[in-house]
Amino acid sequence: MDTLIKSPSAKDTLLTEKGCDEKQIFSQEDETYFTKAQIDTIKKGIEQADNGLLIPYTEVRKKAREILCGN
């Protein structure tokens, strides 16, 4: 079974950090869990980057515009 944990918002983090500082206690960093599919996708992306198979953002943006707008 996959478990996902929602990351705290910036506001929640600020409030938590401020509260911890005032009380002189420190919170432990929450663990983040990924699904197997997410881990596989991350590993694939890292492998592609290591092999020089990166596409510049400008090219991705151009292709997305072509697909969405037909230009």
The C-alpha atoms of residue 7 and residue 41 are separated, in whole angstroms, by 20
CB 35 within 8 A of CB 43: no
Whether this prediction's pTM lies above 0.85 is answered by no
For tokens 């697909």, name the residue. Answer: 67
Tens-digit pLDDT profile for residues 6-44: 555 655 555 555 555 455 555 556 667 889 999 999 999
Structure tokens at 17: 């950090």
> Would you state the pLDDT for residue 36?
92
> Would you state the pLDDT for residue 32?
75
Q: Where is 63: in which H helix or E strand?
A: helix 57-69
Residue whose C-alpha is closest to residue 71's, from 19, 56, 61: 61
